[in-house]
Amino acid sequence: RKEVEQDPGPFNVPEGATVAFNCTYSNSASQSFFWYRQDCRKEPKLLMSVYSSGNEDGRFTAQLNRASQYISLLIRDSKLSDSATYLCVLPAAGGTSYGKLTFGQGTILTVHP
Amino acid sequence: GAGVSQSPSNKVTEKGKDVELRCDPISGHTALYWYRQSLGQGLEFLIYFQGNSAPDKSGLPSDRFSAERTGGSVSTLTIQRTQQEDSAVYLCASSARTSGSPGELFFGEGSRLTVL
């Protein structure tokens, strides 16, 4: 299993829809997880951090399932501006240091009118 | 501007030439990272600095790649004898955390390298 694996999509949804994507990971010892957002030809930016079972910020909810080793990102009431690539990120396998973060390949989301 | 600054933003070079990419992190950030992103691909880790030392160089693809950081601030990524497969966007990021999870990484806009 890859360290971090995501469905690349693309997910095409209408405005107002609810969409969710999953990310699976192989390192069962991982304690922290992140979702980054990357707009086309731009740099990634932090969207949410997940340190326990989950996190919620407005329309965005991240949930962690340690038993099945996946995290999910749920977006409610999608906006056109949510169109982006969503990157699942976690500390690299075997790394207890504060160094290396492993990025998933990303899930492409397109929200259309 | 308080963000991470990278230069050049675009670099076109001929195969076999050397290139230097520069990263100026956010002031006070002790951790600095280099990643690269090829077209349509995810981010590939290259190297990480804590202060001026590099605890993890495991991602450097070959001995043609090297990086240094001086004064706990600016970092330079050097690629010698460039090859076409080196073409990518090279992203630098910095973080304020010094222990535990690195927390939020702040990325620069990247240096787009094209090797002809």
Q: What is the pLDDT of residue B104?
A: 85
CB contacts < 8 A (A, B): 58
CB < 8 Å to B53, chain A: none
For the residues A28-42, what does the mean pLDDT come to?
89
For position A96, what pLDDT does the model report? 43
Please judge whether B109 and A43 are an interchain contact, meaning their C-beta atoms are less than 8 angstroms apart: yes
β A19-25/B19-24 pair status:
unpaired
Residues of chain B contacting residue A104, judged by C-beta atoms under 8 Å apart: 42
Q: Mutation target for A interface from B105, B106, B112: give the one with most A CBs within 10 A.
A: B105
pLDDT digits (tens, 9 = 90+) for B65-98: 999 999 889 999 999 999 999 999 999 999 887 6
Copy the structure tokens of residue B7.
């230069």
In the DSSP assignment, the letter for residue B87 is -
The pLDDT of residue A71 is: 93
Over chain B, what is the mean pLDDT? Answer: 91
* A45 neighbourhood in chain B, CB within 8 Å: 107
- Enumerate residue ranges in chain B where pLDDT < 50: none
Q: Averaged over A85-99, what is the pLDDT?
A: 72
Contact across the interface for B55 and A99, Cβ inside 8 Å: yes
- Minimal CA separation from A76 to chain B, in Å: 24
Comparing alpha-carbon positions, the chain A residue that sits nearest to B41 is A105
